[in-house]
Structure 1
Amino acid sequence: MDPARRALVRLLAAAPCALAAVAGCSAPAPPVDAAVRRAVADWAAAPPQRLSGIPLEGWSYEVTSVRQEGARAFAHAELRYRLAGYDSAPAGSARELVLTRDGSRTTWRVAAESPSPGAPRQLWDQPGPVAVVRGAHCLVLGAGQSRETLSGIAAEADRAVPAVSAAWPRPWAGRVVVLVPGTLDAMAALLGRPADTYRGLGAVTTGATGGGPAPADRVVVNPEGYAQLSRAGRQIVLTHETTHVATRTATTARTPQWLSEGFADWAAYRQDPPAPAQAAPTLARAVRLGDLPAALPADEAFAFGGDQDATARAYEGAWLACRLIAARWGDAALVRLYELAGREPLPTALDQALGTDPAALTKAWQQALREELA
């Protein structure tokens, strides 16, 4: 072939690609990719039967990658959904879907679904049916739990919500979602951390801080730790965790842990306040032995899974700090401090809300510990 003819052939071969680039078009998705995406969309239109009774809306999958291995295909997707009446924005979950071809060898169907590697499990990923109990101010979802147990937790959550609203007189949803897995290990799987992290705890709250609405705050109950609590203890735990849900929009990375945890305990104890030595036994023992804290608890003192006595002293000291603030400056001043501490440096927040500074507050707190615990 002469050079001129070869040049013409190359030009004609490149022309469709060049025209597509000029028009801003992209090549069509491979047939398998498109068919898999259609199958996942069909799967989303009919959620699994075991989810019936859960008030779901907006259930959908955003497929981010597809690969085929013979007669099977694997799709990585981001599940999005809301709990109707509870979530302000869609909750998310990374998922892996396995698809197989039917007899026609052209149509795919979803055969299995599971969390992506490293992603936390959902309650419905766990063995057993998911039971749903609705309260006046709560939605309780349980796996491997009796309806009697879930109804009792719903009653306790219904008492917690009004107590939190009285302590935190700022706008919030006024409702809470409680998840009750079957075991401690199942709880840890929901949260994506080792079970020992939560051993001995009654419940924790999910949801990241950041100053904006949290789309899917959940109170997650440790069924083993919760069962060991007295009735009053269960109520304190649920009120504490519900306070975190209520204050989420005011809580940021700036908020000291002693303030967020101390405020939650203050809200939980507020309606029936115990004697300080009764509710702070670990710190009381330390103070009686002459081990008076030199400063308000640091953030790292509240980490799960560490020295249990040190963690207990941190929580107890935080509660007594918030108790002192409410007693000396008033409940409204404590709420104002919480709001400001999420936006301003702590010295600025203390000055504006209480007219004091960290050193003076620490000194007053230490004096209160001496008087009330020693």
Structure 2
Amino acid sequence: MVALCLLLVSLVACGGGPAADPARAQVQALLDRRAEAVLDRDASAYGRTGTRAGFDALRAVPLADWSYRVTAVDRTGDTATASADLSYRVDGYDRSPVTTARSLRLSRDRDGHWSVDSDRPAHRSGEQLWDQGTARAVRGERSLVLGVGQPEAALRDYAELADRAVPAVSDAWGSRWPRRVVVLVPESLEDMAGLLGSPASSYRGIAAVTTGATGAGTRAPADRVIVNPDAFALLGDSGRQVVLTHETTHVATRADTSAATPLWLSEGFADWVGYRGAGRAPDEAAPELAQAVGRGELPEALPDDDDFGFSGDADRLARAYESGWTACRLIAEHWGEERLREFYRAVGAHQGRRGAVEDAMARVLDTTPAEFTARWRQYVRELLA
């Protein structure tokens, strides 16, 4: 029996299970060395782990951490595909790591050493900016702008917009947020969609979006404002500032935004901050809603989350945003800006969507949804008539 176990030890352990494939541990060790080379900016060490593709594209990105965690290895002879979670932090901006799924192709040489042949986003995972080309970095006073396929002068313009947005948001929301923002500027709409892992048609005409986990508090990584350069280029100076201030508001409010927060409130509040002090007349800030009011089509209720879908009717989407803005503007004017902030936080602190708005309206605004809706409809009629 002992001899038989020794004979079969490379195939089957005496306990009955198959012998562990050492490839996973070997690949993990390889990726640990590769990650260390990224942080050390050591091109030679990086090259010794496999392909140098991607190393130069990352050079300008200020990294505090970069690591891989292998989750699976599918090996066939001297080739393998590894699934791994890439985690990284941008120095000075991310309190917790950004984590994204990657798929790596590897090969093994005659000496049994593995090397990386390619490192790509996993299926259904968004690209990272440096997957699209060499990233440029421009630091503002309160911002970091990373771009691909963009001239440095354009990135500096984005940094100036973001630097103005941060204090404007703090003035409206308060200073209890990191007060800095990372802006990603890809080369095109298609590249923006690649970063988001979604079809380009979903974001056509959308100037920018903000990514991030809601309700995660200080454990959440810093959000990314991702620009659609095609749509952004069509805006004037004032419109560009409104957009960057709107998106920066999402960064500031993220910890107090949860599944309980309806989109009319989160998007309406961001628009309220964006337009606050911008000098826009109400019908300029809400043109689609103003036209509807002019036709006698006063909205019956505040918009549902479905009304904010990017792939639907553009006019319906615009009216949804404008309705949210007017609702938040009403609260700020009638109850005061501090009550608006309290209301936002109270809704986000609720355990779920059901009853969140009702409870917050009762406790903070001393009203009901029905009373508020009636007041809002009258406000919209008078504001946009």
With normalisation by structure 2, the TM-score equals 0.89
CA displacement, residues 307-326 of structure 1 (integer Å, 9 cap, x when unaligned): 00011111111111111110
Q: Give matches, 1:225-264, under 5 Å.
A: 225-264=231-270
Residue 215 of structure 1 deviates from its aligned partner by 0.9
Instruction: Work out whether residues 13 and 19 of structure 2, in 8 Å CA contact, stay in contact via their aligned partners in 1.
Output: no
Match of 2:376 in 1: 365
CA displacement, residues 167-196 of structure 1 (integer Å, 9 cap, x when unaligned): 101510000000000010000010011101
**Counterpart pick for 2:33 among 31, 34, 42:** 42
Residue 60 of structure 1 deviates from its aligned partner by 0.7
Match of 1:106 in 2: 112
Residue 10 of structure 1 deviates from its aligned partner by 8.5
Residue 125 of structure 1 deviates from its aligned partner by 0.5
**Counterpart pick for 2:289 among 260, 283, 296:** 283
Residue 197 of structure 1 deviates from its aligned partner by 0.7
Instruction: Work out whether residues 258 and 299 of structure 1, in 8 Å CA contact, stay in contact via their aligned partners in 2.
Output: yes
Q: 1:199 to 1:306 in 2, by over 3 A?
A: same
Residue type at the aligned position of 2:91: A
Instruction: Work out whether residues 141 and 179 of structure 1, in 8 Å CA contact, stay in contact via their aligned partners in 2.
Output: yes
Question: Structure 1: any 5+ residue segments left out of the alignment?
Answer: 1-5
Q: 1:88 to 1:12 in 2, by over 3 A?
A: closer
**Counterpart pick for 2:208 among 203, 206, 230:** 203
Instruction: Work out whether residues 166 and 180 of structure 2, in 8 Å CA contact, stay in contact via their aligned partners in 1.
Output: yes
Instruction: Work out whether residues 36 and 73 of structure 1, in 8 Å CA contact, stay in contact via their aligned partners in 2.
Output: no
**Counterpart pick for 1:184 among 178, 189, 192:** 189
Residue type at the aligned position of 1:137: R
Residue type at the aligned position of 2:185: V
Residue 38 of structure 1 deviates from its aligned partner by 2.2
CA displacement, residues 256-299 of structure 1 (integer Å, 9 cap, x when unaligned): 11111111011011123422112111111111111111111111
Instruction: Work out whether residues 43 and 110 of structure 1, in 8 Å CA contact, stay in contact via their aligned partners in 2.
Output: no
**Counterpart pick for 1:171 among 154, 173, 176:** 176
Greater Cα shift, 227-236 or 351-360: 351-360
Superposition RMSD in Å? 2.3
Instruction: Work out whether residues 211 and 342 of structure 1, in 8 Å CA contact, stay in contact via their aligned partners in 2.
Output: no
Q: Distance in 1 between matches of 2:372 and 2:123?
A: 47
Residue type at the aligned position of 2:145: V
Residue type at the aligned position of 1:143: V
Residue aligned with 2:184, SS: strand
Instruction: Work out whether residues 276 and 372 of structure 1, in 8 Å CA contact, stay in contact via their aligned partners in 2.
Output: yes
Instruction: Work out whether residues 183 and 226 of structure 2, in 8 Å CA contact, stay in contact via their aligned partners in 1.
Output: yes
Match of 1:88 in 2: 95
Q: Distance in 1 between matches of 2:65 and 2:164?
A: 30
Greater Cα shift, 354-363 or 44-53: 44-53
Residue aligned with 1:100, SS: strand
Instruction: Work out whether residues 120 and 190 of structure 1, in 8 Å CA contact, stay in contact via their aligned partners in 2.
Output: yes
Q: 1:148 to 1:170 in 2, by over 3 A?
A: closer
Question: Structure 2: any 5+ residue segments left out of the alignment?
Answer: 39-54, 351-355
Instruction: Work out whether residues 40 and 109 of structure 1, in 8 Å CA contact, stay in contact via their aligned partners in 2.
Output: no
Q: Distance in 1 between matches of 2:208 and 2:163?
A: 16
Q: Distance in 2 between matches of 1:12 and 1:224?
A: 67
Match of 2:21 in 1: 30
Match of 1:159 in 2: 164
Q: Does 1:355 align with 2:366?
A: yes
Residue 29 of structure 1 deviates from its aligned partner by 4.1
With normalisation by structure 1, the TM-score equals 0.91
Residue aligned with 1:290, SS: coil
Residue aligned with 2:160, SS: helix
Residue 50 of structure 1 deviates from its aligned partner by 2.1
Residue 35 of structure 1 deviates from its aligned partner by 2.6
Residue aligned with 2:126, SS: coil
Residue type at the aligned position of 1:304: F
CA displacement, residues 186-226 of structure 1 (integer Å, 9 cap, x when unaligned): 00010011101111111000012235332131000001000
Match of 2:85 in 1: 78
Q: Distance in 2 between matches of 1:200 and 1:277?
A: 20
Identity, % of aligned positions: 51
Q: Distance in 1 between matches of 2:306 and 2:140?
A: 36
Q: Distance in 2 between matches of 1:144 and 1:50?
A: 11
Residue aligned with 1:145, SS: coil
Q: 1:262 to 1:30 in 2, by over 3 A?
A: same
